[in-house]
Amino acid sequence: MSKTMTGAQMVIDILVKQGVTDVFGYPGGAIMPIYDALYGAPLKHYLTRHEQGAGFAAVGYARSTGKLGVCFATSGPGATNLVTSLADAMMDSVPLLAITGQVPTAAIGSDAFQEVDVLGMSLSCTKHSFMVERVEDLAEVLQQAMHLATSGRPGPVLVDIPKDIQQGQVPYTPWLADAQECDSTSMQELKAANTLLKNAKRPIAYVGGGVQSADAQDELMAFLARTQMPAVSTLKALGSVLPEYEYELGMLGMHGTKAANLAVQECDLLVCIGARFDDRVTGNLAKFAAKAQVLHLDIDAAEVGKRKPAAASLIADLKMSLPQLEGSLTTEEWREHVSQMKRDYAWRYDYPGEKVFAPYLLNKLSRDMPKQTVVCCDVGQHQMWVAQHMKFDHPSNHLSSGGAGTMGFGLPAAIGAQIARPQDTVITVSGDGSIMMNIQELATIRRNNLPVKIVILDNQRLGMVRQWQELFFAGRYSETNLSDNPDFVQLAAVFGIPGQTITHASEVDEAIDNLVSSEGPYILHACIDDKENVWPLVPPGAANDEMITENTQ
């Protein structure tokens, strides 16, 4: 058999054989052979209107399903536009494969048209990256790239393919499926871990994004069921601990619930389950859970002891390590204390003003939206309100840019999620600042007739920065006034998306009905008070029990 194919055809062939059905991207000169091979291929390509939109759509696709997200971009500016989404995927451990076209091998290093050293650029924002130097290497590189992106601690992997490699002929060899790697991680510290659990009087489960990566929600809930241990969640973990769990305390950290933060400060054992002691979680690290020993469960050994020393650690897939923990029943005294705090510091939605109260609106949306709705958000005040006031029963239903905190994430991520889960409702909650960062993707919604719902909480400000200026910069509101934004409903209408604007609290319930019951895409533009802040807030440098609230400021 002497059948041959081009490198570009091989790229598409391998993706298809690996089970990839959808890719996001934007064509250009150096990736034209791959786009040519894509023409008519059994692989659906979604054209976005900016490469960053393609990257985030792939991230949304991956995070809402647990599958690999794939995106394409051309060389130079195409690849540089992808970088923010790679960095975002790196910070949030999202399995992402980025394939970029590169100028022909002979032109590399000559400052050719649309040439950027993409391999060099990728070093700081990918789990790994490749530049293919010979067409014969292409199959192995792609196979390795997909494996790396999805295995261990997931992350973004970039494959840069020069145009001549895409055009080169390569003998067709049947492509071998990946051998499953078995987890050979030593569990030698299991005994120490179980001793810590046995001796703990006031344990807390500190749950992170690793639970979703390991697909270990069942194992987590089983662990919590047998220990009745109170649980707090990072932003990325929200939904991992089921909302009906009695000792679920919500998010911890800078804008965490008072109960979560106080409980962590008082605990004597912090069971860190796939989390990484991010600075937004810990506040002043020296004062974070200062009375606690740490039991750290993670697949990434480099996370153990990175920010806080661990008394014991299990470096393993959470699906394997969680069932081996022999936690005994948490004392009633501690459970009762935590429950009391949960009751005492419960959110209140009886806002006295006539204006739209964002926490009420989001809580109402959370109660009224169909089960299995995916909520994406952008970054800022609205993002924290979503985390505080909406309930999720799986982390794949709450897509929020955590580690990177990337404005402009929400709309393209929602597009990716809607494509991945066509049967489910997808809502993106954004702010008047963030939505403008990838507003061009309204065209992608229209192009694909996607029923994505959009909620814009509009305070005509870059709200979170404005809040900090008010609290920490003496009210010097430098460049945070966005009152010259366009009329968002009119803007959406141009893209064929209907919607409405509301300004009063009395309009919220009906508007949520309209949004949730709309068949196609819909935009709800909610004008909110520009002075509304996110509470509680742990000020920079403070310990998590030194949070300021609306009443204490």
Q: Which active-site residues does the annotation give?
A: 51, 113-114, 163, 464
Measuring CA to CA, which residue among 523, 526, 485 is closest to residue 503? 526
**Min separation Cβ 96 and another protein, Å:** 16
Q: Please choose, out of 11-19, 58-66, 83-91, 116-124, the segment that lies near another protein by the rule CB under 8 A.
A: 116-124
| Least Å from the CB of residue 276 to another protein | 13
Whole-number Cα distances in Å, 87 to 52, 405, 414, 421:
11, 10, 18, 24
Q: How far is the CB of 60 from another protein (least distance, A)?
A: 26
Give yes or no for residue 301 binding another protein (CB under 8 A).
yes
∠ Cα 31 14 28 (to 5°): 10
Nearby residues of 180 by Cβ (< 8 Å), 6 or more positions away:
none
Residue from 131, 404, 527, 547 binding another protein (CB under 8 A): 131
**Among 148, 237, 263, 399, interactor with another protein by CB under 8 A:** 148
* Segment lying near another protein (by CB under 8 A), choices 29-37, 302-310, 328-336, 502-510: 302-310
Nearest to another protein of 123, 493 (CB atom):
123
Q: What minimum distance in Å lies between the beta carbon of 119 and another protein?
A: 6
> Other C-beta atoms within 10 Å of 180: how many?
8
Binding footprint of another protein, residue count (CB under 8 A): 15
Residues 203, 408: Cα–Cα separation, whole Å: 38
Binding of residue 134 to another protein (CB under 8 A)? no
Question: Is the CB of 77 or the CB of 309 nearer to another protein?
Answer: 309
Residue 549 and residue 553: Cα distance in Å, rounded?
6
Residue 302 touching another protein (CB under 8 A): yes
Name which of 147 and 280 has its Cβ closer to another protein: 147
CA distance 299 to 91: 15
119 binds another protein (CB under 8 A): yes
Alpha-carbon distance 516 to 454, whole Å?
A: 10
Nearer to another protein, 131 or 238 (CB): 131
Q: Is 97 in the site for another protein (CB under 8 A)?
A: no
Q: Which residue has the tokens 């919604």?
A: 445
Least gap, CB of 375 to another protein (angstroms): 32
d(C-alpha 141, C-alpha 381), whole Å: 42
Mark the segment that binds another protein (CB under 8 A) among 232-240, 297-305, 349-357, 415-423: 297-305
Can you read off the two tokens belonging to residue 43? 């692989």
Cα–Cα distance measured from residue 525 to residue 503, given in angstroms and rounded to the nearest whole number: 9
> Considering the rule CB under 8 A, would residue 305 count as an interface residue with another protein?
yes
Whichever of 121 and 413 has its CB closer to another protein, that residue is 121
Stretch that binds another protein, among 162-170, 197-205, 303-311, 358-366 (CB under 8 A): 303-311
| Residue 56: closest CA among 69, 38, 43 | 69
Q: How far apart are CA 274 and CA 270, in angstroms?
A: 12
C-alpha radius of gyration, the chain, whole number: 24
Asked if the peptide bond before residue 536 counts as cis, ω within 30 degrees of 0, the response is yes
306 binds another protein (CB under 8 A): yes
For another protein, the closer CB: 8 or 91? 91
The single-letter code of the amino acid at 524 is L
Among 21, 44, 106, 124, the residue binding another protein under the rule CB under 8 A is 124
CB atoms closer than 10 angstroms to residue 143: 17
Structure tokens at 136: 């014969």
Considering only the stretches 49-57, 59-67, 232-240, 304-312, report the one whose residues sit in contact with another protein under the rule CB under 8 A.
304-312
Q: What angle do CA 461, 463, 468 make, to 5 degrees?
A: 125
**In the complex, what is the shortest distance from the CB of residue 210 to another protein, in angstroms, rounded to a whole number?**
15
CB 39 within 8 A of CB 11: no
Q: Is residue 311 within the footprint of another protein (CB under 8 A)?
A: no
CB of 522 to another protein, least distance (A): 44
Residue 309 or 422: the one with the smaller Cβ distance to another protein is: 309
3-class secondary structure, 370: coil
Closest to 264 in 3D by CA, of 207, 187, 326: 207
CA distances from 99 to 29, 81, 138 (A): 14, 13, 12
Asked if 123 touches another protein (CB under 8 A), the answer is: yes
Stretch that binds another protein, among 66-74, 120-128, 276-284, 514-522 (CB under 8 A): 120-128
* C-beta of 131 vs 322, nearer to another protein: 131
Alpha-carbon distance of 277 to 206, in angstroms, equals: 9
**Distance between CA atoms of 517 and 522, rounded to whole angstroms?**
10
CB of 300 to another protein, least distance (A): 7
CB of 312 to another protein, least distance (A): 11
The stretch among 1-9, 77-85, 294-302, 320-328 that binds another protein (CB under 8 A) is 294-302
String marking each residue 250-289 x if it binds another protein according to CB under 8 A: ----------------------------------------
By beta-carbon proximity to another protein, the closer residue of 404 and 511 is 404
Task: Using alpha carbons, list the distances in angstroms from residue 462 to 375, 385, 478, 480.
Answer: 21, 15, 10, 5
Strand partners, 481: 461
Binding flag, residue 498, another protein (CB under 8 A)? no
Instruction: Summarize as ranges the residues that interact with another protein (CB under 8 A).
Output: 119-120, 123-124, 127-128, 131, 148, 300-302, 304-306, 309
